[in-house]
C-alpha cells in the first residue's frame, strides 16, 4: 500500500509541476488562492475524525479541523472567483455588448 501511495505522490507532484509551471505570472495570486482552496480537501480527513466517535479528544480536534477546512474551501473558492472575474481583456466591455447582440446566450458578467 505504502509503495503504491508513493507512486501516486510522485506522479501527482510531477503532474502538478508540469501544469503549474505554465501558469503565467499574471495569475499567480489566483493560483495561490486556488491551491489554498483545494488544500481544504483535508476536510476529508477532518470529517471522518469528527464523526467516527473514536473518543472525545478526537471528536473535538476533528470538529475544529472541520471548521478550519470548510472556511478555507468556502472562502478560497469565493475569492478565486472574485479575482478571476476582474481579469478582462481590452474592450471587453464593448465586445461584450456586441456579443450579446449576436449571440444572446454568451453573457459575461456585467459587474466586472
Partner 1 sequence: MRTLFIQLAYVSASVLFILGLRSLTRPDRARRGMQQAAVGMALAIAGTLVNHQILDYRWIALGMVLGALIGYPLGMWVPMTAMPQRIALALSFSALAATLVGIAEYYTGVRSVEGIGHAKAAALGFEVLLGSLTVAGSLVAAGKLQEWITSKPVTFRGQNIINGGIFAFTLGLFAFVVMQPDAARVFYAMLALAFVFGVLFVMPIGGADMPVVVALLNSYSGLAACATGFAIDNVMLIICGALDGASGMILSILMSKAMNRSFANVLFGAFGSDTIDTSARKAGELQVRSITVEDASIQLAYAQLVIIIPGYGMAVAQAQHQVRELAEMIEKRGGEVKYAIHPVAGRMPGHMNVLLAEANIPYDKLYDMDEINSDFDRCDVALVIGANDVVNPAARTDKASPIYGMPILDADKARSIIVLKRSMAAGFAGIENELFYDPKTSMLFGDAKTSLTALIGEMKNV
Total Cβ atoms within 10 A of residue 46: 21
* Alpha-helix residue ranges (DSSP H) falling in 1-112: 2-20, 28-39, 43-51, 56-86, 92-102
Can you tell me the distance from the alpha carbon of 34 to that of 73, in angstroms, rounded to the nearest whole number? 9
| Minimum separation from the CB atom of position 103 to partner 1 (A) | 16
51 or 97: whose CB is closer to partner 1? 51
| Minimum separation from the CB atom of position 11 to partner 1 (A) | 8
Distances (CA, A) of 68 to 40, 53, 62, 90, 93: 8, 20, 10, 39, 38
| Minimum separation from the CB atom of position 98 to partner 1 (A) | 16
| Minimum separation from the CB atom of position 100 to partner 1 (A) | 17
Amino acid at each position: 500500500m505504502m509503495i503504491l501511495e508513493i507512486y501516486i505522490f510522485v506522479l501527482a507532484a510531477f503532474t502538478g509541476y508540469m501544469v503549474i509551471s505554465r501558469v503565467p505570472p499574471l495569475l499567480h495570486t489566483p493560483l495561490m488562492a486556488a491551491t489554498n482552496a483545494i488544500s481544504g480537501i483535508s476536510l476529508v480527513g477532518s470529517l471522518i475524525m469528527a464523526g467516527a466517535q473514536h473518543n472525545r479528544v478526537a471528536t473535538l480536534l476533528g470538529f475544529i479541523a472541520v471548521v478550519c477546512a470548510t472556511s478555507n474551501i468556502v472562502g478560497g473558492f469565493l475569492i478565486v472567483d472574485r479575482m478571476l472575474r476582474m481579469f478582462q481583456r481590452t474592450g471587453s466591455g464593448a465586445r461584450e455588448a456586441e456579443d450579446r447582440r449576436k449571440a444572446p446566450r454568451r453573457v459575461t458578467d456585467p459587474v466586472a
